[in-house]
Amino acid sequence: MLSPLKFRFVHRPVIVTFLLLAAWGAAPAATAGSNASSSGTWPRLQVHSTMLDNGLEVLVLERPGSPTVACYLHFRVGTADEGPATLGLSHMLEHLLFKGSRHLNTRDYHKEADIMEEIDRVGVALDRARGEGAEEEKIRALQAELEELKKSQHQLLIKDEFESLLLRAGADTVNGTTWADATNYFSTLPANQLELWLAAMADQMGHAVLREFYQERDVVMEERRLRLEDDPQGVLIEALTSTAFIAHPYRNSDWMSVLKRLTREDAQRHYETYYGANNAVLALVGDVRFEEVLPLIKKYMGRLPKRPAPPEIHIEEPAQRGERRVQVYFDAEPALAIAYHVPGLTHEDEPALALLSALLGGHGTAGLFESAALEYPEATRWSRLYRRLIEKQGLAQEILMGGHPGDRYARLLVLLVQPRAPHDLADLERGVLDQLDELKRRRVSPEELDRARRNLIALYLRILERNMGAAWMIGYTQGVSNDWRTLERYIDALGTVEPTDVQRVARTYLREHNRTVVWRSAAPDRDEDELLGGGETAALQGKGSR
């Protein structure tokens, strides 16, 4: 049947703040590839890696015969790097970094700079007036002044010059995504257009001008409405994350109240803090030769500025001391989220947790490249929860399991489940928890564990087929763990997990006091007038402490 998810959202920066949201929404494009020889099912990837003098980490995977090259640029900055007054800035920047540079998108940067200062002044005054509830007349006057200034700036712009440059060269998309740990920019181009991408991207990232700030802030607010406020899954996930984390910035979201007060000055500061070459990873996969492209990479990307090391995050999420339980009212069919705190990607328990997740839900736990696996929902049919809750008991409509919202720090293992009528959320929760308990009680058979292992690795192999899938896998892994080989160690480690390991991590992490549960359902009619608007967390009934 017709699926709008197949429609093209062309040429656009996109935020995928939530991995799991991407699964039931529009999953980001992804790809992979290798010319490497095969060692068992998983081929050893012959990745060339080096670091430029400015600190940029470079990975190249040659894939001769492919008609394209996938280009992936990863900055180690995301929603977790934001503070209370800067929520949403990483995402704002991702949008603004398609707006050109001092050289691109403008006819006269110096004239434009003067106008932008005026726009900043009026924009800040307008935000303040709105925030303070100023008289309508004053607000209208400021709005009119701002519109006039925007028109003046518009006269000096060459709209979308940066982006159309790449599209004319055959880029499939010129796009970016913002995650908890990372912001990345990616395009796949015909292989002979790589130099153009390097030149244009280096200019954009090194000499960015954060123009048209207020127009783009409106776009980001529209995106928030689309993906979080009006989307039942977004509502569920946002409630889950902000409840499960009380200290760690993985709880961050780009709340509208903060978004609408962000300024270009804030964005410029964020850019200068986090967009150093020494905070970035470049991954190229396709019909390129390392020795041929390295001089080009140095020539263009070598000019990106090196900056002081950005601030580190030292906050650790304290151990949870009791179940947290939230009811969210939203006008949609019901759904349930169950989450447990688990460690980050490089922790020694991760491979066993990944197989536990695969056994139950068909997908592993590793964030960003796992999101590409979510393009293959059929890959879950063999898993326990699918066989038992969907096929046998008829309790569930859809099940999705995976890590969230990042990988660098301790995060959540999340289960998103939809009940199938006539079953309700209570039936479904009981059914899910029974399955989790069984995993703790009864050791999984070596055969079933091996099945999970083979299918998880096969899924990653599937992602690897496309150039961009491979670029994401190696580039993202380098970004969050500082070494792309973590990916190979991860695959190898999956081979060493025993049934006892799965039982041990199940008993360690899948405990009631470590659990957060969110129920999303339509508001009961009798209480409708008393409840908050759609999507608000209307009640918090903690059985334990927060």
Q: Which of residues 385-404 bind another protein (CB under 8 A)?
A: 387, 390-391, 394, 397
CA dist., res. 268 & res. 208, Å (int): 9
CB of 324 to another protein, least distance (A): 25
Residues in region 8-47 near another protein by CB under 8 A: 8-12, 31, 33-35, 38, 41, 43
Which uninterrupted H or E stretch holds 20? helix 19-24
Interface region with another protein, contact rule CB under 8 A, candidates 62-70, 113-121, 269-277, 481-489? 62-70
Q: What's the CA gap between 46 and 239, in Å, rounded? A: 42
**Site for another protein (CB under 8 A): which residue of 313, 461, 538, 539?**
461
Q: How far does CA 425 lie from the centroid of its chain?
A: 28
In whole angstroms, give the CA distance from residue 259 to residue 217.
Answer: 7
Q: Could you tell me how many residues of this chain bind another protein (CB under 8 A)?
A: 98
Question: Is residue 537 near another protein by the rule CB under 8 A?
Answer: no
Using CB under 8 A as the binding rule, the residues of this chain from 65 to 84 that contact another protein are 65-68
Q: Which is nearer to another protein, 91 or 408 (CB)?
A: 91
Residue number with CB closer to another protein (349 or 536): 536
**Which tokens sit at 126?**
């307008």
Residues 186-245 binding another protein (CB under 8 A) are 188, 190-193, 195-196, 199-200, 203, 206-207, 212, 214-223, 225-226, 229-232
- Pattern of binders to another protein over 81-110, x per CB under 8 A? ---------------------xxx------
Residue 35 or 273: the one with the smaller Cβ distance to another protein is 35
Q: Annotate 124-161 with DSSP letters as a single string.
A: HHHHHHHHTT--HHHHHHHHHHHHHHHHHHHHTB-TTH
Q: Which is nearer to another protein, 230 or 427 (CB)?
A: 230
The stretch among 306-314, 348-356, 381-389, 488-496 that binds another protein (CB under 8 A) is 381-389
Region 427-456 residues binding another protein, contact defined as CB under 8 A = 451, 454-455
- Find out whether 335 and 522 touch, Cβ atoms under 8 Å: no
**Alpha carbon separation from 183 to 14, 68, 104, 271 (Å, rounded):** 10, 23, 22, 12
Q: Which positions from 361 to 380 touch another protein by CB under 8 A, shown as an x/- string? A: ---------------x-xx-
| Residue whose token pair is 């935000």 | 127
Question: Residue 181 interacts with another protein (CB under 8 A)?
Answer: no
Round to whole Å and give the CA distance between 203 and 285.
Answer: 21
Residue with Cβ nearer another protein (19 or 468):
468
Q: Which of 44, 289, 381, 430 binds another protein (CB under 8 A)?
A: 381
Neighbours of 466 (CB within 10 A): 22
Contact between 3 and another protein by CB under 8 A: the answer reads yes
Q: By CB under 8 A, is residue 543 in contact with another protein?
A: no
Binding mask 321-360 for another protein (x = CB under 8 A): ----------xxx---------------------------
Among positions 464-503, residues that touch another protein (CB under 8 A) are 464-467
Whether residue 69 contacts residue 188, with contact meaning beta carbons closer than 8 Å, is answered with yes
Q: On the CB side of 448, how many CA atoms lie within 13 Å of its CA?
A: 17
Residue 509 near residue 340 (C-beta atoms within 8 A): yes
Helices (H), 210-289: 213-224, 232-244, 256-259, 264-274
Residues 238-277 that bind another protein (CB under 8 A): none
- Which member of 167, 313, 538, 539 binds another protein (CB under 8 A)? 167
Does 298 contact another protein by CB under 8 A? no
The residue among 223 and 350 lying less far from another protein, judged by its C-beta, is 223
Separation of alpha carbons 162 and 99, rounded Å: 7
Q: Give the span between the Cα atoms of 90 and 78, in whole angstroms.
A: 6
Q: φ and ψ at 142, to 5 degrees? A: -65, -40
Q: State the nearest-atom distance from the C-beta of 454 to another protein, in Å.
A: 4
- Minimum Å distance from CB 363 to another protein? 13
Listing DSSP states for 515-538 in one string gives EEEEEEEPPPGGGGGGSPSTTSEE
Q: Which of 308, 311, 495, 533 binds another protein (CB under 8 A)?
A: 533
Helix (H, G, I), strand (E, B) or coil at 368: helix
Distance in angstroms (rounded) separating the CA atoms of residues 158 and 150? 14
Of the residues 4, 84, 133, 524, which one makes contact with another protein according to CB under 8 A: 4
Is 164 or 268 the residue whose CB approaches another protein more closely?
Answer: 164
